[in-house]
Amino acid sequence: MEITLNALGKRLDMEVLGDGTHVVRAVSSPDDAREDALCVVWDERLQLPAGVPVLAPRGAFAPGRDGLVSERPREALPRLLSLFAPRVPELRGIHPAAVVAEDAVVDAGAWVGPLAVVGSGSIIGSGCRIGSGACIGSDCRVGDGTLVEPRAVLLDRTRVGRNCILHSGCVLGCDGFGFLPSPGGPVKIPQIGGVVIGDDVEIGACTTVDRGTIGDTVVGDGTKIDNHVQIGHNVRIGRFCIVCSMSGIAGSSVLEDGVTLSVQAGVTDHVRIGRGAVLAARSGVTNDIPAGAVMSGFPARPHGLAKRAQMLAAELPDLFKRLRRLERALKNGGVGNRGEEDDGR
């Protein structure tokens, strides 16, 4: 893409400073700044070579600098990148190498790629893109405009809403991990429920969403789930939640709207996390979490309390030595050797 700053400013509704005829061909970070790429800057103290155009707050413009003014460059970044993103060719129809059941319904505006499979009774909506090697099981629904990337898998009775993105290698609708202990070994509990995914949901690569034991596992509208996440059977995730990579949510737990799980957070079964709560990285949730709480540690506790506990833990070796000296002083009739070295044993 080649575009002048004047034209780009009109498309983004931003003021142009400097030479509006400056042509940019890409977007760059400060680490890769160059004269033919618009550099997005939100730190006004950043020093860049002369001639590099910027999208930045007004205060970041040195004399003679070309660019676009935005007091909130982070918020402007998605719109800017969408203009420079590679254009995906519009494909419609069913590739000759795809396998589509006779009673499946594929909208005329959808695309089913080579080696993809669409099972019996499934419905693929308008504008859907089913990537090569993807597998859609029986009685599935894929809403309008949803992208199913190559090798993603939707097993039987999975429902996906509109304008979702299912990244390569994710698996929706696999068996929930349900077993009944018995003297002869664990007895498998049949998982006969389904999976329901709302609109505008994104599910990352290699993430699994188990189907419910009886009812459905549910992911609400607008929720974004990272790569390598495990969501257990009968979990219910609300709207606009964020679940970061390598997190795990055990069966029948509930995340209300707007919850954030940071990297490697773990949630045990049958707990409820209140609306807008935030779980820091590696938090371990073992009990219900109130709405709006910020929690960390294991077991998860209020973040301020967890930080104090970590600070105290670092002092434990010295505290232990002091305690040993006091014990010896009491044993010796109250006379302690303050200069004595103690290895803590």
Catalytic residues: 233
Cβ partners under 8 Å of residue 180, min gap 6: 186, 187, 188, 189
Residue closest to 133 by CA, chosen among 155, 152, 111: 152
Bridging pattern class, strands 248-249 and 230-231: parallel
Strand partners, 138: none
The residue assigned the tokens 């990579």 is 245
3-state secondary structure of 302: strand
DSSP letters spanning 172-197: EEEPP--EE--TTSPEEPP---EEEE
Q: How far apart are the first and last CA of the chain?
A: 70
DSSP letters spanning 7-37: HHHHHHT-EEES-TT-EE-EEE-GGG--TTE
Residue closest to 197 by CA, chosen among 247, 147, 246: 147
How far, CA to CA in Å, does 11 sit from each of 2, 15, 78, 319?
Answer: 14, 11, 13, 63
Strand partners, 249: 231, 267
Distance CA(304)–CA(134), nearest Å, equals: 45
Largest CA distance in the chain: 93
37-53 core/surface letters (b: 16 or more CB in 10 A; e: else): bbbbbbeeeeebeeebb
Distance CA(216)–CA(209), nearest Å, equals: 11
Distance CA(7)–CA(22), nearest Å, equals: 10
